[in-house]
Structure 1
Amino acid sequence: MSLERQVRSKIAGKRDTDADKQAQEWIEAVLGEKFPAGVPYEDVLRDGVILCRLMNTLQPGIIKKFNSTGAQFKMMENINIFQNAAKKYGVNDLDVFQTVDLWEKKDIGQVTTTIFALGRTVSFIVNSKYLMLKCLINLSSITSLYFTLFNY
């Protein structure tokens, strides 16, 4: 067996199809639409269009323009656009897959890891905003109480 086959076999052995399914379901929930029936997860993501739409759903306008059709290099460009947007959104560089991981299907597990990292970042941002809002409400209540007590 060639070295490349051994590496591919090892990577395929590390792939967690349950995690892929969870990542797919999360993307579908965020976008509000199902992936095409019968099309493998990695094939749906491969042109980068869904990934770019995902980022624009999470933060409208984070991606100004992406390619919905075109040559292979345009589709690979979409993947790169997604990667840059994910980093800008707050995903750690180390958690972002390499373009070949998806385009050449070399490590779909790493693509899934990136989707999970994006989900954690979304959760952190939402929780931070919630805590900030809660603090503002508490501050507002304290200020209101202060003005009531001291007749301001």
Structure 2
Amino acid sequence: MATSRATKSGFAAEAQAKIMSKYNEQHAHEVLEWIAEIINKPLNTNGEMDNFYDVLKDGTILCELVNEIKAGSVKKINTSTMAFKCMENINNFLASATTLGVPSQEQFQTVDLWERQNLNSVVICLQSLGRKASNFGKPGIGPKESTKNVRNFSEEQLKASDSVISLQYGSNKGANQSGINFGNTRHM
């Protein structure tokens, strides 16, 4: 766990402090409330870093969450508190999050949660999963996922656009260079 690591110093301590400063208690609180609603269990939804870590560190709540969103996502949830079993739960959650559509750039590494290295990335991952939950008929959090707005143009419409001069090419109206005297001397 986090207590087994050596204390960071110098640049490493500064980098870790910067990572930890990005943690937002309000976002963590919203995520914990959403998880409690989905799994239908009472949780301590206090958004403080210590509580957020304590609620999620063993990965069982995370596995229950993905199983509620899509049944059978995690086949076996380990209830043991042994380190490798807890990390296996977290890995199973991350694999299920990928299949549910959470992009890899919004996911966290197992050590980010287990060793409390970057809890902000855990919040980001859960927010992303919250946006995907509405695709599976569950209440979501955050902004609604965007949908495609495919447009089909006829050949006639496409040909008509060829004759339009884009404003990016410039214009023959408005500002011009009259009055600019390149090469002329200043008359006094």
- After TM superposition, is the score higher than 0.5? yes
Partner of 2:168: none
Kept after mapping to 1: 8 A contact 2:22/2:120: yes
For residue 92 of structure 1, the aligned residue among 79, 103, 108 is 103
Q: Which has the larger radius of gyration?
A: 2
Partner of 1:74: 85
2:53 matches 1:42: yes
Deviations 1:14-53 (A, max 9, x none): 1111000000010011111122488701111011000000
Instruction: Percent identity, please.
Output: 35
Q: Report the alpha carbon displacement of residue 71 of structure 1 after superposing the two structures with TM.
A: 1.5
Alpha-carbon distance in 2 for matches of 1:62, 1:9: 35
Unaligned runs of 5+ in 1: 128-152
Q: TM-score, normalised by structure 2?
A: 0.63
2:12 matches 1:13: no
The alignment yields a C-alpha RMSD, in angstroms, of 1.9
Q: Which has the higher contact order (CA 8 A, sep 6+)?
A: 1
Q: TM-score, normalised by structure 1?
A: 0.77
Count matched residues: 127
Q: Which amino acid aligns with 2:54?
A: D
Which range moves more in the overlay, 79-88 or 117-126?
A: 117-126
Unaligned runs of 5+ in 2: 1-8, 139-188
How has the CA–CA distance of structure 1 residues 122 and 29 changed in structure 2, closer, same or farther, with 3 Å as cutoff?
same
Structure number with higher helix proportion: 1
